[in-house]
Amino acid sequence: MMKFVLTGLGMAAAGVLAAILGIFAIFFFAIIGALMGAITGFILQLVPVISPLVKEGFTAIGIASPNLTAIGAMLGFVGGFFKGNACNCGQKLCK
């Protein structure tokens, strides 16, 4: 009987550890996404032809003075935070 109780406690501890690791991974991917978005936005600001077009696009939707680095970081964070591996292609395993 005691063996089953200890096994159950061990499995519960493993589940809690897996949950903590999963929460850490969510925030890790969000931070990496924000970093990649900020770098991409910074590089986009340096491109002389595309940068004014993108800034005009953000101005058209209501952002007064768009900072592409900050917008890239925000979009990267949101994209990294809500990252998912859902498969909508009808296959069992997605690649």
Q: Mind listing the pLDDT tens digit for each residue in 8-17?
A: 888 999 999 9
What's the CA angle centered on 17, arms 22 and 93, to 5 degrees? 45
Alpha carbon of residue 21 to chain centroid: 16
Cβ-contact 81, 30 below 8 angstroms: yes
Is residue 62, in this structure, part of any structural domain at all?
yes
Number of domains observed in the structure of the chain: 1
Q: How confident is the model at residue 4 (pLDDT cuts 50, 70, 90)?
A: confident
Q: Is the pLDDT of residue 95 over 60?
A: no
Q: Write the CA distances from 91 to 82, 84, 86, 87, integer angstroms.
A: 22, 16, 11, 7
Print the domain residue range for 26. 2-81
Segment 14-62, tens digit of pLDDT: 999 999 998 898 889 889 999 999 999 999 999 998 999 999 999 999 9
